[in-house]
Structure 1
């Protein structure tokens, strides 16, 4: 409880500091809904991604469950996770809530396997965001390297992590990976941490297959594309005409990765500061205010998860 209070306090202090220094202009939020209708399409994209995003986790579940898990159930649990990810600090908080809902979704899927699926799902989501960032940055590399040497370093780190994850996924899901030998090594190294051992062992035993992995990866890229496009549509009325969509796009994935750290709910404060600095790299001085538009809209979109939460809660009481 104290830890959560401190995180909220830290986030609010950051927001207050931005506001006090004139870097956070709340008036842009009301202006965004009066300057044309692009914001409507932005909201539609952010809502739409919630409909197909659960398909990725359903693919993972169906690899272990002989009876396919109903899409509506996966959608409901995913939406509830999104709800708590904006209430509690960090996107990982939503995964913890999802775990408690998913652990009883099928008698054929153990709690350890659910934790393994959530881990893999998060990694594939990160791969989608990184892959999208690498593709767009490579396409726009000449302009990108002119922004800041620091961004070039981040791009190299991003590419290195993406390649590592690709190799990791390939070996995990390939027939050539010596799973039994690795499990034996892990058992010796992690005998004092049985919960971590169970999750890692279950990850090794996921039989996702190459085709299903590609489907999950494509869904991840599609999800991130909807988020980035939605962000752009919400803030585009305040972006100078000389600043292209591709230039803005190069910094957005970096900002989203940083905002998802378990420091504050939905990137409150931390995301504002991060995007303020990122937008300055492309000569835009109101990055915190621009992120605030997306932040507020995303909060309301994720709060739609309250509907399935109340339905699932009512059903559990009826039983």
Structure 2
């Protein structure tokens, strides 16, 4: 009983944090529920945004497929898309925007007879490329807003923050590759001996995947494209509201909001992305409004798009343990 209670305590705490953030946003007037009806009035904009967001997911699935190919795991593109959409659905409900990656990893581990660690590694690399795409688009958008002199002090803060995050990611990535490529531990401690085979496999996989320079460039380009489609989808949703900020401001706030939502603080980053989006819009926007409502509307549209993943999960169109179908070549 204690073990069962302990399993649900983190979820309860995260849900309570999300509720607290939403209560604070409602109390401050930063988020309002009534304007969400604008999505029904401007349903054409909501549909167009959903198409762009779906496009972003499909581009992301293509990126993961390239990583799997680089790791010499011949999973079919159709199954990759199915898994990616399932992950998009679960990312709405599991803690942090990266929660959907856990669902993908579980399906991959069930579906492969070998090289499971390498397949899970490609999911981690896919998430790293997704972060790179968000940071790259954020940097471009911040520089695009630079022409407004009165906003330069605030933009300078975000530019330094984004640049620092890019440098940290670059240094971390190079460090991981350097360790995998050149560092060899001849004798492992007894407590870590069981992890040695997995560490060696992951090290070889990192060297193998990163060695495909063309594939890495393609993944980086696709990451920028996917983040750009998502940013454009947020701008279109923002245009449905009378208090919506300027397109470049909405795009920048949306991208940074997505980065913040990846922090596993609340289920699906609920409340975190809304708060960050509202903060940036209030700092860079020319008017005042319940900006967090816009990001909540984006989250609703994204949940509708992720429903495609729910269909694959509920109807079992994707086999839970496809020993032969999962790695079927195109």
Normalising by structure 1, what TM-score? Answer: 0.84
Q: 2:79 aligns with which of 70, 73, 77?
A: 73
| Structure 2: runs of 5+ lacking an equivalent | 1-7, 324-330
Q: 1:227 aligns with which of 225, 230, 238?
A: 230
Equivalent position of 1:184 in the other structure: 185
* Residues in 1 aligned to 2:40 and 2:79: alpha-carbon distance in whole angstroms: 34
- Indicate conservation of the 8 Å contact 1:81/1:95, yes or no: yes
Q: 1:288 aligns with which of 288, 292, 303?
A: 292
* Residues in 1 aligned to 2:187 and 2:215: alpha-carbon distance in whole angstroms: 26
Alignment of 1:256-295 (within 5 A): 256-283=258-285, 284-295=288-299
- Structure 1 residues 250, 165: CA separation in 2 closer, same or farther (over 3 Å shift)? same
Q: 2:219 aligns with which of 212, 216, 221?
A: 216
Equivalent position of 1:124 in the other structure: 129
Moved more, 54-63 or 19-28: 19-28
Q: 2:92 aligns with which of 86, 102, 109?
A: 86
Q: 1:13 aligns with which of 16, 20, 32?
A: 20
Deviation at 1:13, TM superposition (A): 2.2
Deviation at 1:194, TM superposition (A): 3.2
- Indicate conservation of the 8 Å contact 1:117/1:203, yes or no: no
| Structure 1: runs of 5+ lacking an equivalent | none
**What is the number of equivalent residue pairs in this alignment?**
311
- Structure 1 residues 96, 172: CA separation in 2 closer, same or farther (over 3 Å shift)? same
- Structure 1 residues 314, 102: CA separation in 2 closer, same or farther (over 3 Å shift)? closer
Q: RMSD between aligned alpha carbons?
A: 3.1
- Structure 1 residues 154, 303: CA separation in 2 closer, same or farther (over 3 Å shift)? same
- Indicate conservation of the 8 Å contact 1:276/1:288, yes or no: yes
- Structure 1 residues 123, 314: CA separation in 2 closer, same or farther (over 3 Å shift)? closer
Moved more, 293-302 or 178-187: 178-187
- Structure 1 residues 310, 237: CA separation in 2 closer, same or farther (over 3 Å shift)? closer
Equivalent position of 1:244 in the other structure: 246
Moved more, 134-143 or 112-121: 134-143
- Indicate conservation of the 8 Å contact 2:45/2:237, yes or no: yes
Deviation at 1:25, TM superposition (A): 1.2
Deviation at 1:95, TM superposition (A): 1.0
Normalising by structure 2, what TM-score? Answer: 0.82
* Residues in 2 aligned to 1:282 and 1:178: alpha-carbon distance in whole angstroms: 42
Alignment of 1:106-125 (within 5 A): 106-107=112-113, 110-125=115-130
State the secondary structure of the residue aligned to 1:206. Answer: helix
- Indicate conservation of the 8 Å contact 1:90/1:265, yes or no: yes
State the secondary structure of the residue aligned to 2:104. Answer: helix
